[in-house]
């Protein structure tokens, strides 16, 4: 019971931290205010932002798994390929998320995908850090 509670608490804390980081990125890009007119549905920029946010999330998952593998040394390999993949996905997500925020001309609801771009930027940086840590650990194991 205590372990489940601790896990739920950790997930809630991570979600709050992620939301706070996304808001900080939106505020830094000066797009945290809602748009005067709201655009409904999928726009090309929203799809772009969502795609790179999913790439960033995949990079975080792969980076976490490869970091775990490089720490406990189970299974074949030492997590090096996963670490490199997490680095590449993280860089793609961070650069595209930042680029999406840079070309955005409106705030939330404008159809520019600013929330997805901010999420992609945050997830990309996290994936890059996890991939770098896993790559460093896999090199020290060799």
Model pLDDT, residue 77: 62
Model pLDDT, residue 137: 81
Structural domain total, the chain: 1
User: Quick check: 117 and 97 in contact, CB under 8 A?
Assistant: yes
Q: What is the pTM of this model?
A: 0.79
Model pLDDT, residue 66: 85
Q: How far apart are CA 61 and CA 126, in angstroms?
A: 10
Give the residue among 115, 133, 106, 132 at the shortest CA–CA distance from 18. Answer: 115
First to last CA, the chain: 39
Model pLDDT, residue 34: 67
DSSP structure string for 39-53: PPS--HHHHHHHHHH
How far, in Å, are 2, 49, 52, 89 from residue 117 at the CA level? Answer: 36, 5, 8, 14
Task: Give the range of the structural domain holding residue 17, as residue numbers without chain letter.
Answer: 2-32+41-141
| pLDDT tens, the chain, 142 aa long | 777 877 778 778 877 887 788 778 777 777 767 666 677 777 888 888 889 999 999 999 998 888 877 655 555 666 678 888 999 999 999 999 988 888 877 777 676 778 888 889 999 999 999 888 888 887 665 5
């Amino acid at each position: 019971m205590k372990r489940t509670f601790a896990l739920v608490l950790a997930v809630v804390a991570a979600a709050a931290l992620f939301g706070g980081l996304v808001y900080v990125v939106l505020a830094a890009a000066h797009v945290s205010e809602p748009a005067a007119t709201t655009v409904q549905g999928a726009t090309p920029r929203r799809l772009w932002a969502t795609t790179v946010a999913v790439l960033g999330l995949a990079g975080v998952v792969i980076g976490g798994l490869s970091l775990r593998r490089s720490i406990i040394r189970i299974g074949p390999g030492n997590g090096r390929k996963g670490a490199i993949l997490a680095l590449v996905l993280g860089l793609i997500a961070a650069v595209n998320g930042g680029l999406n925020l840079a070309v955005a001309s409106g705030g939330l609801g404008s159809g520019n995908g600013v929330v997805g771009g901010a999420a992609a930027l945050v997830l990309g940086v996290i994936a890059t850090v996890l991939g770098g840590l896993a790559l460093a650990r896999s090199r020290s194991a060799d």
